[in-house]
A and B are shown apart, each in its own frame.
Chain A
Amino acid sequence: MNGTGSPALFHQPAGALAGLLEARRISSVELMQAVIGRTRAVEERIHAFNSFDADDALAQARASDERRAAGRARGPLDGIPVGLKDVIAVKGQPLTASSRMLANFVSPYDGTAAVRLKEAGAICWGRLNLDEFAMGSSTENSAFKTTRNPWDQTRVPGGSSGGSAAAVASGEAIVALGSDTGGSIRQPAALCGVVGLKPTYGLVSRYGLIAFASSLDQIGPFARTVEDAAIVLGAIAGHDPLDSTSFRSEPHDYRAELEKRRGPWKLGIPREYFGEGLDPEVGAAVEAAIGHYRKIGCEIRPVSLPHTKYAVGAYYIIATAECSSNLARYDGVRYGHRSEAATDIVDLYFQSRAEGFGPEVKRRIILGTYVLSSGYYDAYYLCAQKVRTLIRRDFLEAFREVDAIVTPTSPTAAFKRGEKAADPLAMYLNDIYTIGVNLAGLPGISIPCGFTKEKLPIGLQLIGRPFDEAGLLAVARAYERDHDWNARHPEL
């Protein structure tokens, strides 16, 4: 079934596997067995999953094979295992947010992303680890386990969607879904050497996504190739009446459009993203990628995003304010952890939240409560929302001149586990290149663009116009077409 030289099934992209499935050269059950086997072999070193149900996944694979045999296959994702970050609701599966608060929660319904994956025939495969409630950049804030970077297990996979990134990089899932509030898809994708796409705010429904910061959160794909990201995006994108912030956008066949759009494009390079703090090896790899775009005929222009330095500050006001409100629902009453120690109903709230939340979540709730509290609202929250306007304006101004913006995804390659765990501010500053995109609501993608001398992956970030995912993916593909970074796999 696999000729010598072709990679193991679990390392192949969904696009190629879809071809093998369609040609009946493999069955979905065989593919699922390969992924389960791989997961059993490497998971004790990677710790990407909070849980998985192999029997349930195989049952989904059998159903896919039966559909195909009956001539009712549903498209390129039919029979492909898709890992899900443990904040996206799948009916009957655990939904923990990697928090003690929801350690025993089982989702009573499907989120829209899960509904659409199932409609596309995909196998909902496992619950992937994250920083508790998606708050963090290293997956070290999980209440359950610390996911390792598959390229070097002494290092973090990034976060908050570290489990999703590590699973795709290590062959434990073919593609995966994550969520991105300030970089939580793009940064772990960069650190694990895979593709990660944060769509435009409103393109993908948030119904059934555990809320962190509702004006910033977006679900998006992790993949081995730009084409796979396009396939998954095509399945999950589109208006949903169950999410009132979901946009009535034009439907696209992102996969079909990928090879049709060949540029050349005008690409903007914001000098604010290449200053102090950028690791020289990362900077050199990004410069080389820019050189490639120039070589294939793109016009490279400097652009300015003057409010960039204020993005992290504005973000940590807005995101924590929204999280303090969203997480008020965890009160120990209707679901989630309930303290045994409480003396009355009010004490039940205090104790259940004290026992159920980990330190980073508590810190952010406290900070968010503070910036919204009487006397500080104007100085912090309102001011941050105004700065958000200026940051967004910077981007929209730049997009009058250019089609996409090219930057590093993260200032450094993967850092050591424990290195930043005790210093929240240092951890926050790690998201300096990704956060502005969320504040402006734009689509952003990270694609592999090289390795450091220590053999750690480096990510290139491309930022597009609102709802121009088709264009953004084509720009990403134009780089990927001439490079084979994604042919390398971590040695496990």
Chain B
Amino acid sequence: MSQPADLDIDHVARLARIALTPDEKARFSAQIGDVLAYIAQLKEVDVTGVEPTAHAFPVQNVWAEDVAQPGLPVEDALRNAPERQDNRVAVPKVVE
């Protein structure tokens, strides 16, 4: 297993908003290192002048009529909320 020199797992996990254990950090660094080493073969490909493909069949300017549609009833929308207060989702305090 290889350890990529430039994969700062703490930094990336922070960007991804995932708390990792020390064991996960070590394991994922090594496993992702293997994948990145494999992916490095893409550098062999000459992509000069090649346009990137974001979608296989690009569809542009998909407009919807500006007509109000019924949304989910409040009760249905809140049924999966972990915690609620009246008709709202409750979260820990954001600002002191």
Chain A positions within 8 Å of B, measured between CB atoms, are 104-106, 108-109, 200-202, 215, 241, 244-245, 247, 307, 309-310, 312-314, 316-317, 324, 328, 331-338, 342-346, 348-351, 353-354, 357, 359, 362-363, 365-367, 369-370, 373, 380, 382-390, 392, 424-425, 428, 439-442, 466
Contacts and interface: CB of A to CB of B under 8 A. Distances in A.
Nearest to A333: B91
B35 interface: yes
Given A382-B52, A439-B56, 16 more contacts: A108-B80, A201-B56, A245-B59, A313-B38, A333-B89, A334-B89, A336-B80, A344-B93, A345-B91, A357-B18, A359-B28, A373-B11, A386-B51, A425-B34, A425-B35, A425-B38
Contacts, number: 164
Contact of B45 (A317, A350, A390, A424): A390
A336 B55 contact: no
A317 B11 CA distance: 19
A351 B34 contact: no
Interface of A is mostly: helix
- Of A108, A200, A345, the most chain B CB neighbours within 10 A belong to A108
Interface of B is mostly: loop
Contact of A390 (B16, B31, B38, B50): B50
Interface string B1-21: 000000101011101111110
A104 B81 CA distance: 10
A309 B92 contact: no
A313 B81 CA distance: 38
Interface in B25-67: 27-28, 31-32, 34-36, 38-39, 41-45, 47, 50-57, 59, 62, 64
B35 A424 contact: yes
B79 A345 contact: no
A362 B18 contact: yes
A350 B80 contact: no
Nearest to A344: B92
Give chain B's interface residue range (CB within 8 Å of chain A).
Answer: 35 or more
Given A357-B18, A362-B20, A387 B45 contact: yes
B82 interface: yes
B82 A365 contact: no
B81 A390 contact: no
Contact of B41 (A106, A310, A346): A310
A359 to B, nearest CB: 7
A344 B3 CA distance: 33
Contact of B82 (A336, A367, A380): A336
A385 B19 contact: no
A247 B47 contact: no
Nearest to A384: B42
Listed from nearest, the 9 A-B pairs whose CB atoms lie closest are: A441-B56, A385-B52, A338-B82, A335-B80, A386-B47, A354-B19, A350-B19, A108-B76, A244-B62
A385 B79 CA distance: 39
B64 to A, nearest CB: 6
Contact of B28 (A247, A337, A366): A366
12 contacts: A247-B59, A334-B81, A334-B89, A335-B80, A344-B92, A345-B94, A353-B16, A366-B12, A369-B15, A383-B45, A390-B45, A424-B31
